[in-house]
Amino acid sequence: MDESLVIAVSNISDGSMSVGVSDERRLANRRRFLANYQIDPVQTILVRLEYDDTDYKRYFTVSSGQAGDGIITPSTITVDALFTRERNVALLLPVADCVGAVLYSKDAGVMGLAHLGRHNLVQSGGSAVVRYMVQDFDVDLSEVAVYLSPAAGRERYPLYDFDNRSMHEVATQQLLAAGIVGDNITVDTRDTTKDTSLFSHSEYLKGNRKSDGRQAVVSMMRP
């Protein structure tokens, strides 16, 4: 990855970045986490998800005009991935067991942050988000780099629609099918269901974790 690209993942010690805390505490947690990377909430846009639809391949391109959306002002964008060409515009995605995928083209100056969970993957979201990037930004797939955040592993969260494989495995397969070069995919192999420094919603529902919450993936292109 380019040194000008910031990618960071919070953990339980940073506090929940979404559910399980008050609005005031959530903003305070996000503000403190972002400050570790010299990012301000006013320059950050939330990748806001909704599960009351049948389409989980909703993508949108943002700019500094939307900065702060979903962070310091109410969310106006419901998506499964955001992209931007602008530097100093940060994208933030709260996740628990799903994959947060950062897609980056240094040559085209484009960055995206995508949610790849079971709903998205069943609809081949890993390939669809790459197609959006190609169609909207005319990137050269041979140089696109992808980072995959920690996610639930196959042992405790098998994807039954995909022969019990893990989210990382299925997401990687779909990225490769879309033309991403294998050597350009970086996987954070931490398993959220086993790593107790990370939140796991599925483990919470099973009664194996005392608290529910979300870590966040943040990405930004610096000047």
Q: What is the pLDDT of residue 53?
A: 78
3-state class (DSSP) for residue 7: strand
C-alpha 63/C-alpha 88 separation (Å) is 10
Mean pLDDT, rounded, of the chain:
96
Q: Which residue has the higher pLDDT, 2 or 24?
A: 24
Q: What is the tens place of the pLDDT at every residue in 81-122?
A: 999 999 999 999 999 999 999 999 999 999 999 999 999 999
Whether the pLDDT of residue 2 is over 80: the answer is no
Q: What is the pLDDT of residue 168?
A: 98
pLDDT cut 90: percent of the chain above it: 96
C-alpha 213/C-alpha 200 separation (Å) is 7
- Give the 3-state secondary structure of 83-98: EECCCCCEEEEEECCC
Classify residue 161 as exposed, middle or buried by CB count within 10 Å of its CB (0-12, 13-18, 19+).
exposed
Q: What is the tens place of the pLDDT at every residue in 156-213?
A: 999 999 999 999 999 999 999 999 999 999 999 999 999 999 999 999 999 999 999 9
Q: What is the tens place of the pLDDT at every residue in 119-152?
A: 999 999 999 999 999 999 999 999 999 999 999 9
C-alpha 214/C-alpha 200 separation (Å) is 8
Q: Are 185 and 177 in contact (CB under 8 A)?
A: no
- Domains of the chain and CATH, by start: 5-221 (3.60.140.10)
Q: What is the pLDDT of residue 155?
A: 97
Q: What is the tens place of the pLDDT at every residue in 45-83?
A: 999 999 887 999 999 999 999 999 999 999 999 999 999
Q: What is the pLDDT of residue 3?
A: 82
Closest of 63, 159, 67 to residue 117, by C-alpha: 159
Q: What is the pLDDT of residue 52?
A: 80
Mean pLDDT along residues 31-52: 96
